[in-house]
Structure 1
């Protein structure tokens, strides 16, 4: 694929600056995770500080007081997140009797044993029996491997199950079986986030023309920018729904375009398409597949697809399997990013989604369909069959 100049939309720039300001990470690290230069973030932040929303075309202007209120709010959220980290970490690090007994041994000079046992929910007799029990070589190895598994599990925020953790350990040079990883995860009460039910977001307009299902569930492609699939989902917040439109490249399952808005209208999907086209510069003839939602059947959106020379394909009525790639992606996003969370604000939801899409999913998350490599690595390697046989 020919190298093209990278183009970023206003929405991407704003979310990148917000992530740099709220994540607590150095700007160089944020830039590296997003695949951009730290100079870009510095420049975008400077423009926003000087001109507010007028720094990037398409939005109104914010007063200095509004900007200061937003800055203070972000700082408060960052402090709250840092304060919650030790509490959440302790829940992972002290799971299982073995690790609790080890913790008591380490802290027995600081606190009474009876107090430590009560706090951790173990008996004193169990502790004394554990002290006398010799540890076999296999159990010592299990304990060490459990620590390594937990490190991967915590690093990926409880998103990985045994197949992905096994692959991660294998790439780190750790030789073990997937069944052993699964057993140790069960014993340590580590399990990936569960699936959440999805609400129907498709709203048809019977006055709009629809296109036939050209894709025909052929969810493979020989190279990038041959087939794109797209859909809309919703994210709950205290301030109301935040809608997310996403475009995936079928070849690598990479997120090539996205947009977020409080309104589920055609502007939302047009913004996602604009980002995808600016990033990928697809040739004419690309297959664009969606459902029959009114946002995708609207005259304005269909006209843009026609101008870009894209072939329009739509799922059959009431058939979610015709767009199974997008359905699967949104299930993963709801499991791994949202879960049961109801974000306090649209801004917090935006930050979480932006980091998941641009930092984690595209660049870090191991995709089972791609032989457990990330979409970015898959495209860089450019050998689909080899990776799937790994």
Structure 2
């Protein structure tokens, strides 16, 4: 407490009042006021001071912004939240919404759109052997494969190659990769072959 005193004293009076309110359950108000060099009368005055019209409106806006932000799964930034507020008849500038969101420490989750690359080699059409017939009598009779695109914060788009056995409806093999390559798919297929010892 004493070591952080010089840092705390550099803040404005409202911050000091909030600091006392935060720690008054663990320390007495008298001790905190003495350490921060604030008269107790000043603390109680500011604590019980009624909010200004601007502060009341900002608090209402903060609640509204937070509700919109979390209702849209944290994907809406200041621009979209500003548009929602205007549609609801709430007059506020975009800069003010940005300022309040900064105070609330709200940041939208940004996911880059996936842009597929054109294949270098021409696509060769193959015969549809399965032909929508998903019925089976035993395991390893029919497999289906897929590649799932997974957005990640650290590595951007990653890829999950997987194979399902249509008889058991279970994933029997999968490979996770940072790049979508033929090797990734072949690795998944070879794992399944080795596990179930299927013929060539």
TM class, shorter-chain normalised?
0.3 to 0.5
Larger RCO: 1 or 2 (CA < 8 Å, sep 6+): 1
Structure number with higher helix proportion: 1
Larger Rg: 2
Q: TM-score, normalised by structure 2?
A: 0.40
Q: TM-score, normalised by structure 1?
A: 0.22
